[in-house]
Amino acid sequence: MNTTRLGDNTFINGNKIMKNLKIAIAAVVLSTASFATLAAEPVTSAPLNAQKIGVVSAHASNLSSLESKLAQKAEAQGATSYRITSASGNDRMFGTAVIYN
């Protein structure tokens, strides 16, 4: 049994800590991997062998927010990728994106 004394007669089992650490790391890796596979990816041209499945549009206060909203709408429509085709405006941005599967 691998134990360590921490003071005031408190002991921790080293094997248990390692097991919990491995479980926590595995959970983080799996949750990150599953999120990455669900998100629609931005592209600069139509992906090869991809089918256009529609167009999404959004309003936002700046370009960063506009891109984020277009990405969220593309993902909600089941797209695997999207290409922003327009963005215009000053205080209120408007944009569109073609979505692909």
Q: Are residues 62 and 27 in the same domain?
A: no
Q: Are residues 79 and 31 in the same domain?
A: no
Q: Are residues 46 and 92 in the same domain?
A: yes
Confidence band, pLDDT 50/70/90 cuts, at residue 47:
confident
- CA–CA separation, 68 vs 56, rounded Å? 12
Tell me, what's the pLDDT at 29? 55
Q: Are residues 47 and 33 in the same domain?
A: no
Q: Based on the structure, what is the number of domains in the chain?
A: 2
pTM of this prediction exceeds 0.75: no
Domain span including residue 91: 40-100
Tell me, what's the pLDDT at 46? 83
Q: Are residues 30 and 50 in the same domain?
A: no
pLDDT in tens, 56-70: 999 999 999 999 999
Q: Is 47 strand, coil or helix? A: coil
- CA–CA separation, 37 vs 80, rounded Å? 9
Half-sphere exposure of 97 (CA within 13 A, CB side): 28
